[in-house]
Amino acid sequence: MMNGRRIENGGLVLFVFLITLLLGAVVSTFAVALLWSMLAAILFQPLFNRIFSHLPGRANTAALLTLLIITVAVVIPAMVIGTLVVDQASGVYAKVRTGQINFTAYFRQVHDALPDRLQQLADRAGLDSFERTQARFSNVIGSRVSGIASQALSIGRDAFAALLGFGVALYVTFFLLRDGERLGAAVCHAIPLERGVTTRLVDRFVAVTRATIKGSVIVGLVQGALGAITFAIVGLPAALLWGLLMAVASLLPAIGPAIVWAPVAIYLLATSAIWQAAVVIVSGVLVIGSADNVLRPILVGRDTGIPDWVVLVTTLGGIELLGLSGIVVGPVVAALFITAWQILTEQRAASDALRPLPPLKLADGTSDEMAARG
């Protein structure tokens, strides 16, 4: 009887596993839309709760109002800015193809404007030509940046698929906002883990998700917007495109948006555009650079407990694997990994503390228990 019960339980577990994989395959087309629906629901759940507190018993109305605020404040501006960025990127690409934008000439201008001592150091380092310099940088970060840019520009390639995914995301977000707490409790109850472990993992998941969106995405967008405004003031073309690159570069600890605005400032100095270079440097150091230090503590509110180098590696790896969604997924996976190992370590330590100590061996080979009996 016991063996039959084990076989039935094993069969049920196998069926649940297989049907879960099948469901994942069925909805894989809308995986990105479902992911962002879940992230939006997690981020805006406090807003829904506040609206619902003023409209007791009207969960549908509160969810619709929350969805309207998300659409007006986030979705529509993102679509407008995305369209403008795609247009500017297409224009830059066309100018590069026709030779109106010549990066080799720009590099030569900067190289020739350097003092002789710096020119000699650059030549010894193999930075005497744009092609060689481009090859060196592409081996380090070029492929990453180009991959991120291609993911950002691919949004407008398939308008129908993007529109369909957008509709699915909004539709699912409505139900996740309205029924999120009940669904979350049901999922936690169904997970085959101890209740305390499940609660700790879920709390960690929600906290890191909100912190990543607020601390990385929002701060990056603010820094990118400030960079775009700065470049528009000094008259650089495709200011929104540069701003997008700075928003992506803000994910890099220590360097951040400086990897974009610093070379631009150097080029402006080399071409005798003194006041433009001064504006870019002052804005980069005092405005763009300090935005992270000012906004991140306000938006995040508490430390995620993830080292900066782990955030960098998991973010870049997540972007390469999942596209722009990896900006959030990468750090969340890292946080769950760290939390799971912490829980396992704590449980093993508690188990070792409860385990009785082995008897102590004395010099004559007898144990302390035997000596006590004698």
Query: Does residue 86 sit in the same domain as residue 219?
Result: no
Q: Who wins on pLDDT, 237 or 371? A: 237
**Does residue 10 fall inside a structural domain?**
no
Query: Does residue 247 sit in the same domain as residue 339?
Result: yes
Above 70 in pLDDT, residue 113? no
* CA–CA gap between residue 226 and residue 32 (Å, rounded): 28
Q: Who wins on pLDDT, 289 or 148? A: 289
Band of pLDDT at residue 65, cut at 50, 70 and 90: very high
**Does residue 358 fall inside a structural domain?**
no
Q: Who wins on pLDDT, 81 or 64? A: 64
Above 50 in pLDDT, residue 140? no
SS3 of 212-224: the string is HHHHHHHHHHHHH
Mean pLDDT of the chain: 75
* CA–CA gap between residue 81 and residue 86 (Å, rounded): 9
* CA–CA gap between residue 248 and residue 315 (Å, rounded): 11
Amino acid 138: pLDDT: 44
Band of pLDDT at residue 68, cut at 50, 70 and 90: very high
**Does residue 123 fall inside a structural domain?**
no
Above 70 in pLDDT, residue 143? no
Query: Does residue 197 sit in the same domain as residue 186?
Result: no
Write down which residue in 126, 160, 190 finishes a domain. 190
Highest mean predicted confidence (pLDDT) among 84-88, 329-333, 368-372: 329-333
Q: How many domains does the chain have?
A: 2
Query: Does residue 57 sit in the same domain as residue 206?
Result: no
Q: Who wins on pLDDT, 229 or 13? A: 229
Measured in residues, the chain has a length of 374
Above 70 in pLDDT, residue 231? yes
Query: Does residue 215 sit in the same domain as residue 267?
Result: yes
Query: Does residue 236 sit in the same domain as residue 251?
Result: yes
Write down which residue in 190, 206, 223 finishes a domain. 190
For the residues 91-96, what does the mean pLDDT come to?
A: 70
Query: Does residue 260 sit in the same domain as residue 331?
Result: yes
Query: Does residue 235 sit in the same domain as residue 290?
Result: yes
For the residues 52-76, what does the mean pLDDT come to?
A: 88
**Does residue 130 fall inside a structural domain?**
no
Convert the pLDDT of each residue in 251-296 to its tens digit. 766 677 888 888 888 878 777 778 888 888 888 888 888 887 777 7
Query: Does residue 296 sit in the same domain as residue 330?
Result: yes
Query: Does residue 157 sit in the same domain as residue 184?
Result: yes
Amino acid 12: pLDDT: 77
* CA–CA gap between residue 111 and residue 267 (Å, rounded): 9
**Does residue 296 fall inside a structural domain?**
yes
**Does residue 67 fall inside a structural domain?**
yes
Amino acid 66: pLDDT: 92
pTM equals 0.65
For 277-344, the DSSP string reads HHHHHHIIIIIIHHHHHHHHHHHH-S-----HHHHHHHHHHHHHHHGGGHHHHHHHHHHHHHHHHHHH
Instruction: Express as a percent the part of the chain with pLDDT over 90.
Output: 4
**Does residue 183 fall inside a structural domain?**
yes
Above 70 in pLDDT, residue 315? yes
Above 50 in pLDDT, residue 141? no
**Does residue 216 fall inside a structural domain?**
yes
Instruction: Express as a percent the part of the chain with pLDDT over 70.
Output: 70
Above 60 in pLDDT, residue 203? yes
Amino acid 132: pLDDT: 55
SS3 content of the chain, % helix, strand, coil (to 5): 85, 0, 15
Amino acid 64: pLDDT: 92
Above 80 in pLDDT, residue 333? yes
Write down which residue in 174, 190, 206 finishes a domain. 190
Query: Does residue 240 sit in the same domain as residue 225?
Result: yes
Residue-number span of the structural domain to which 84 is assigned: 30-100+144-190
Helix (H) or strand (E) holding 42: helix 31-54
CA separation, residue 192 to residues 197, 332, 353 (Å): 10, 21, 25
Query: Does residue 183 sit in the same domain as residue 78?
Result: yes
